Chains A and B, each alone.
Chain A
Amino acid sequence: SAVISQKPSRDICQRGTSLTIQCQVDSQVTMMFWYRQQPGQSLTLIATANQGSEATYESGFVIDKFPISRPNLTFSTLTVSNMSPEDSSIYLCSVRQGGETQYFGPGTRLLVL
């Protein structure tokens, strides 16, 4: 299975600022995704990170708030822009490998004050 790392692992940020989260995979993968997990909740898909083109966002998520880059098949970034306390969540990078098997990174724990 793919080995996924995320940086930072956690951060505490002030409202109004932005944070960029990095996701690195140890092998080339076609599909990469970004999820949000709010406290005590399940996982919600933010967007599919497309290599060489704009990300595909789910309903309720917009590019201005969550810009995503995917410059190659092993790396992606998610930026949480103009943060508010409601953005406090775990942000998870995920990749699909071997058909429909999907793996997750360790997550980035974000607290916005």
Chain B
Amino acid sequence: GQQLNQSPQSMFIQEGEDVSMNCTSSSIFNTWLWYKQDPGEGPVLLIALYKAGELTSNGRLTAQFGITRKDSFLNISASIPSDVGIYFCAGHPPTSEGNKLVFGAGTILRVKS
């Protein structure tokens, strides 16, 4: 099946710093979604990307759908302590498995105050 390679696995950054994480795949995806999961909670949708090359912002968050449809990145500007959590990328493949949302392994973000 299709896989998403998400990096980095974890990050430990200073408050106020910018953060970048990405997902790559050897195959194309129709949609890229970025989620954040806080401890004890379900994943919360941050940004959804639907077209190759699309760049979308949500407050301090910016995400892009790679032009090749095989990658996406998420940037967080001026990180704050509440940014702590696990960030997941996810995508819908274009095949008959298009109903299935494929997830990356997650990026654990820790912020030093």
Contacts and interface: CB of A to CB of B under 8 A. Distances in A.
Most buried by B among A31, A102, A109: A102
Contacts of B43: 43, 92, 104
A36 to B, nearest CB: 11
Given A42-B88, A42-B106, A102 B101 contact: yes
B50 A99 contact: yes
A2 to B, nearest CB: 11
A90 B42 CA distance: 9
Nearest to A4: B42
A106 B42 contact: yes
A106 B101 CA distance: 18
B62 interface: no
Nearest to A109: B40
A90 B66 CA distance: 31
Given A99-B50, A100-B50, A100-B92, A1 B103 contact: no
Contacts of A90: 42
Interface residues of B, number: 22
A58 to B, nearest CB: 7
B30 A100 contact: yes
A104 B44 CA distance: 7
B96 to A, nearest CB: 12
Contacts of A96: 99
Most buried by A among B42, B100, B105: B42
B31 interface: yes
Given A104-B42, A106-B42, A107-B42, A45 B101 contact: yes
A4 B105 CA distance: 24
A107 B41 contact: yes
Interface of A: 1, 4, 31, 33, 41-45, 48, 58, 90, 92, 94, 96, 99-107, 109
Interface of B: 30-31, 33, 35, 40-45, 48, 50, 88, 90, 92, 99-101, 103-106
8 contacts: A42-B104, A43-B103, A44-B103, A96-B99, A99-B50, A100-B33, A101-B33, A103-B45
